[in-house]
Amino acid sequence: MLTKEQQQELLTLLISLMSEFGTRILISILILLLGLWLAKFIQRLSQRLMIRAQLEPTLIRFLVNLIYIAAVTFVVLATLGKLGIQTTSFIAVLGAAGLAIGLALQGSLSNFASGVFMIIFRPFKVHDYIEGGGVEGTVEEISIFTTLLTTPDNKIIIIPNSKLYGDKIVNHSIQPMRRVDLKLNFSYNTNLEQLRELFLTLVQADQRILSEPTPGLEVQEIAGSGIKILLTVWVATPDYSLVRSDLNERLKQSLDAQGILLV
């Protein structure tokens, strides 16, 4: 049995410990709660600023989550430090884990970096028709790691962002107008004025073809096989494919009707 003096000393020690650690625990809880509230506030504020800057929604979601995770990590480390727990070892473990993950996911990190650059610099956007990375199609989705394309024959292509961004990208949709080029070979006895008049008649009959820049007929080369002619018209970009197809068909019909032969 403890004597009264020993009991008094033990009680005094317990009160002292509870006073010291209780206050520290209470302050740590306050730091944690305030820190989590502040992390949420920073997350919402950064999201509003990014939306105001008109960043892509995909990039906004990723960056906002990254900012929140970083803020929460800082709050947890600060809370543990207030409790007297050494956080140096935790930071070292996090650093080593980050390095190991980075080495293991070099390809994924390359895709991630390329995705961020594409979202920031916007070489293309959703619904653009592009060529790149050895494929072509209409952009359906741009994510952090991959880009999804739909081909004209309705196949889905999922291409890693690093392959796409590291290659030459041709964007067929970015300009409001495109030039339709028709390259044809005619025999030497072809009447160029007759051909020019036929071509202009076809152009004037199609309201989708723009008057400016003016349609053109250019003799590119007089070769051993005949005369190489380039016919050009300008159209609004959404009309490009249909106008090209229709003009080819109507041109063939008119050439046959006039007896003008291709070689």
Domains of the chain: 13-104 (1.10.287.1260), 123-171 (2.30.30.60), 177-258 (3.30.70.100)
User: In this structure, are residues 171 and 123 in contact, taking their beta carbons and an 8 Å threshold?
Assistant: yes
Kindly give the confidence (pLDDT) of every residue in the chain, 263 residues in length, as a single tens digit, with 9 standing for 90 and above: 556 565 555 556 555 645 556 667 777 778 888 888 888 888 888 888 888 877 767 667 777 877 888 888 888 877 777 766 666 666 665 665 565 545 444 556 777 778 778 877 788 888 999 999 899 999 998 887 889 999 999 999 999 988 898 889 999 999 999 999 999 998 888 888 999 999 999 999 999 999 999 999 999 988 777 899 999 999 999 999 999 999 999 999 999 998 887 88
Q: Mutual orientation of helices 192-204 and 240-258 as an angle, nearest 10°?
A: 140
Nearest one of 72, 74, 73 to 43, comparing CA atoms: 72
Q: Mutual orientation of helices 88-104 and 106-121 as an angle, nearest 10°?
A: 90
d(CA 172, CA 180): 12
Count of positions (residues) in the chain? 263
Nearest one of 232, 244, 235 to 209, comparing CA atoms: 235
Measured torsion, CA atoms of residues 159, 160, 164, 166, in degrees rounded to the nearest 10? -160
Quote the pTM value: 0.64
d(CA 130, CA 75): 45
Q: State the greatest distance between any 2 C-alpha atoms of the chain, in Å, as a whole number.
A: 129
